Amino acid sequence: MSDNINKTMKFDVSKEKMNEAREIILTVYKALEEKGYNSINQMVGYILSGDPTYITSHNNARSLIRKLERDELLEELLKNYLKDK
């Protein structure tokens, strides 16, 4: 235990932000599906236009997605799409 006291701990803010973005995307996707919308089309509409009315207010999805900038959403989607390539 005394060895650990001399080591510098690392905290990766980007990883925390990535997890938050992923959770928000999944929550919004599920809320759109529950309301009968085509989730992909609605989310693309929001990312392209910035108009929050593309996202349902069901389960607080509209407020959640607005916590992130659209470029952050797009970055998260691309990272996950390309990570296994």
Instruction: Output the DSSP codes for 30-80.
Output: HHHHHTT--HHHHHHHHHHH--GGGS--GGGHHHHHTTS-HHHHHHHHHHH
| In a domain? residue 3 | no
Half-sphere exposure for 56 (CA within 13 Å, toward CB): 18
| In a domain? residue 9 | no
In the chain, how many domains are there?
1
| In a domain? residue 35 | yes
- Give helix 70-82 / helix 39-49 axis angle, nearest 10°: 130
Half-sphere exposure for 72 (CA within 13 Å, toward CB): 17
What is residue 83's predicted lDDT score, i.e. its pLDDT? 85
What is residue 15's predicted lDDT score, i.e. its pLDDT? 62
Per residue in 2-48, pLDDT (tens digit) is: 566 778 776 665 666 668 889 999 999 999 999 999 999 999 999 99
| In a domain? residue 67 | yes
| In a domain? residue 19 | yes
- Give helix 70-82 / helix 13-34 axis angle, nearest 10°: 90
What is the domain range of residue 44?
14-82
| In a domain? residue 55 | yes
